[in-house]
């Protein structure tokens, strides 16, 4: 009986340890909280070196990214005013499912932009091969930039 209890306790300890290690010890992507404007501004000032991006009005998002009405509750977007592929999108959605759908729409945007740029500016099309699209909780981001390592670092610090 004692041997059985010890084996049961050892098994429970192993299962607990495996469960804790699976969590990764970092921020939970479901519980992430992001200041949308601050993150977009930080990305814009840190990872774009070859262009000056312009802030895009939130009213334009549905026609550019095809977000559904009410899907996005907060956003900040920067786009190139020149002929570069540079673009930063940070959106907060009404819930996690909406953020996943927004992420899919952002992936579609990357594909469409790559198709477009490959016809007249192959160097910019190559940037789109490295485009970052991520979701975490109710947030979705897309980054097309000059410094992808820095962008990944900033996003990781923000919970993505």
Per-residue 3-state assignment (H helix, E strand, C coil) for 4-23: HHHHHHHHHHHHHHHHHHHC
Sequential pLDDT tens for the chain (160 residues): 444 333 333 333 333 333 333 343 344 566 889 999 999 999 999 999 889 999 999 889 999 999 999 999 999 999 998 889 999 999 999 999 999 999 999 999 999 999 999 999 998 999 999 999 999 999 999 999 999 999 999 999 999 9
């Amino acid at each position: 009986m004692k041997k059985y209890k010890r084996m049961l306790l050892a098994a429970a300890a192993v299962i607990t340890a495996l469960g804790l290690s699976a969590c990764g010890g970092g921020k939970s992507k479901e519980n992430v909280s992001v200041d949308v404007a601050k993150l977009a501004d930080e990305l814009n000032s840190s990872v774009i070196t070859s262009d000056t991006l312009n802030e895009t009005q939130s009213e334009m998002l549905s026609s550019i990214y095809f977000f559904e009405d009410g899907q996005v509750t907060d956003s900040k977007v920067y786009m190139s005013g020149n002929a570069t592929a540079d673009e930063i999108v940070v959106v907060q959605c009404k819930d996690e499912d909406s953020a996943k759908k927004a992420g899919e729409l952002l992936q579609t945007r990357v594909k469409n932009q790559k198709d477009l740029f490959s016809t007249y500016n192959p160097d910019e099309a190559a940037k789109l091969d490295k485009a970052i699209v991520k979701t975490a909780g109710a947030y979705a981001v897309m980054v097309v930039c000059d410094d992808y390592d820095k962008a990944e670092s900033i996003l990781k610090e923000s919970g993505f």
